Amino acid sequence: MILYVYVGILGAIFASFVNVVVYRYPKGMQFVKGRSHCPYCHATLDWIAMTPILGWFICKGKCRYCHSTISLRYPLVETMGAVFMIMAVSCFGLTVQAICISIIFMVLLCIAWIDVDTLWISNDFLILLMILAVWLTFYQTNLSFMNHLLGSISAACPMLLLNLIVKDSFGGGDIKLMFICGWMLGMPCAVVADLIAVFSAGLYACYLLFCKRIKRYDHIAFGPFLCLGIVISMCYGMQLLEWYLLW
């Protein structure tokens, strides 16, 4: 139990860096150097405001200097980072594989939230993901080369085909993302990830249509749903499939 608390804290700290990347990368800003500051008054944040998750609650969701509202998204991303890292360690133990998967989850968090803001998945993150996929392959002794390849094809090809029928139904970034992550997941988990993404995105789109927040032919970012599917399938893909087949 205490191990998971430590892992969760570590995940929240990493995800707080994800917040910095998501904010600065699309603006072309330097994200490795430079202290975090309030996006409104540009005051440098103190250690209380910078404490992952708790800082937002202590400051009541407001900047301590200019009292502008700070989005709930910051603690949300940090909580997701904590949960994802706990999932990785609980499924893969305290192993190098779990470390590699945790880093992959943080990159997916960056991709998902940048996609929410900009409807764009940068090739830089996809290249980073590809390097991590190659690293992860060394630990996936249960998956053969054929498994990996089938994972890539089964995850990316349906999207590619659908794009040929209905133009621009998916972005090129989404397809590249699924090709790389399909490799990581292998068969049949790659298909599970796709299905989770399609169902969750479908539900969300219905909700937005119902609330009249989008019109019928509007685009929504699909990347976050793919990332969600990948994370869940990476940890629980086989269990979900077994559960579904028994059911």
For residues 46 to 85, the per-residue mask of contacts with Zn ion, x marking binding by CB under 5 A and - elsewhere, is: -----------------x-xx-------------------
Which residue, 64 or 176, has its beta carbon nearer to Zn ion? 64
In the complex, what is the shortest distance from the CB of residue 49 to Zn ion, in angstroms, rounded to a whole number? 9
Query: Closest Cα to residue 189, out of 245, 136, 147?
Result: 147
Q: How far is the CB of 19 from Zn ion (least distance, A)?
A: 16
Minimum distance between the CB of residue 42 and Zn ion, rounded to whole angstroms?
A: 7
Toward Zn ion, which CB reaches closer, 71 or 90?
71
Q: Which stretch binds Zn ion (CB under 5 A): 41-49, 77-85, 187-195, 236-244?
A: 41-49
Token pair, residue 239, equals: 């269990």
Of 3, 5, 29, 40, the one binding Zn ion (CB under 5 A) is 40
Omega of the bond prior to 188 within 30 degrees of 0, cis? Answer: yes
How many residues does this entry show for the chain? 247
Are 88 and 132 in contact by the 8 Å Cβ rule? The answer is no
Query: Residue ranges of the alpha helices (H) in the chain?
Result: 2-24, 47-50, 54-58, 73-92, 96-118, 123-137, 145-165, 172-185, 189-210, 223-246
Kindly list the residues in this chain that would bind Zn ion in the complex (CB under 5 A). Answer: 38, 40-41, 63, 65-66
